[in-house]
Amino acid sequence: MSGSRAAGPPPFVVAVVGPTATGKSDLALDLAERLGHDAPGGAEIVNADAFQLYRGMDVGTAKVPVDERRGIVHHQLDVVDPEDDASVARYQEDARADLDAIASRGAVAVVVGGSGLYVRALLDVMDFPGTDAAVRAALEERAEREGRLALHAELARLDPQAADAIGPHNTRRIVRALEVVEITGRPYTANLPRQEYVRPAVQLGLDCDREVLDARVAGRVARMWDGGLLAEVERLAPRLGRTASRAVGYAEVLDAFAGRCTPDQAREAIVANTRRLARKQMGWFGRDPRVTWLDAQAPDLADRALAVLDDARRAPVPGGPLAGAHGGASDGGHGADAAPVRRSLGS
């Protein structure tokens, strides 16, 4: 750990990111409590988990209950009805307004979530092209008539990089990419976020060994199952829109309700799909060299995270953490002098 604590609140947004089930919410609460002591306005948390935006989707998204939020103000929770589709563009506008308001109150902002695109939309330079209902409808009709593979082949011709990134199985994203190409006349990838912060930020990533994470995922699913996931999905089922109904935990239970699998098979599928989601999240955040990785199992995790933030406060220089170049891995929290060895889920 580095030396004495740097005085005053950090002059940057703190973001806690990484795979599901690594303890991001707990660390965010710990950091908000401790950083808030040095800030005149305390500290506030901004959610960056896409499905925690939805009202009523509590058990299946591991949303921190109100009585466990330690009195810390949370933003971007319960702001979208489950029958509606969450919008990254709307989230960007609303969550950035939250960051502005938090700063105006002299408070520290702690962003927490595992939805990589939402984190990037909030923190990085990222523009959103408009939409065209007629163009999208025509593309969706073509997807039904010609099949998604035909549309993916067209995207591969117009924007090979986007086609590779999206893959041939995600019809919704293929349609969106082609819509953007038609609307803007530019490749879809031209609109993707750049690794350039719109305001100073430091990202802390939580990582742990694969076997440990797999066990954590299984434990989380067991708690959700015992905590009323089936009843929650049953209550929300008539209102779950296209996006909400595809959330891990909800899609599998809906399959069980529809007789496509047994409840036990649904539970097993939730575990498997959550583990798969964790790998995808690690792939997303692992490609960002600005993330400083910490061992999620460390008993003094909050102290190690604070040491990283203290180092960042002492080094606001070009190429330093506030410029977006603070990356690599922590060796488990021994400060900025640690060798930048990249951790991974398989480590």
Percent residues over pLDDT 70 in the chain: 88
List, for residues 152-210, the tens digit of each pLDDT value: 999 999 999 999 989 999 999 999 999 999 998 989 887 776 789 999 999 999 999 99
Q: What is the CATH number of the domain that holds 149?
A: 1.10.20.140
Q: Pull the structure tokens for residue 323.
A: 């410029």
Degrees, nearest 5: CA angle 87-116-219: 105
Q: What is the CATH number of the domain that holds 110?
A: 3.40.50.300
Predicted structure pTM score: 0.82
List, for residues 233-246, the tens digit of each pLDDT value: 999 999 999 999 99
Q: Which domain holds residue 76?
A: 13-125+200-208+289-323
Is 168 annotated among the ligand-binding residues?
no
Is 63 annotated among the ligand-binding residues?
no
Q: Pull the structure tokens for residue 227.
A: 């905590």
CB atoms closer than 10 angstroms to residue 132: 14
List, for residues 142-168, the tens digit of each pLDDT value: 999 999 999 999 999 999 999 998 999
Quote the number of domains for the chain.
2
Domain membership flag for residue 279: no
Is 347 annotated among the ligand-binding residues?
no
Q: What mean pLDDT comes out for the span 308-320?
A: 75
Average pLDDT, the chain: 90
3-state secondary structure of 41: coil
Looking at residue 4, what is its pLDDT?
59
Is 171 annotated among the ligand-binding residues?
no
Is 160 annotated among the ligand-binding residues?
no
Is 10 annotated among the ligand-binding residues?
no
Domain membership flag for residue 340: no
The span from the CA of 4 to the CA of 6, in Å, is 6
Is 24 annotated among the ligand-binding residues?
yes
Is 23 annotated among the ligand-binding residues?
yes
The span from the CA of 281 to the CA of 285, in Å, is 6
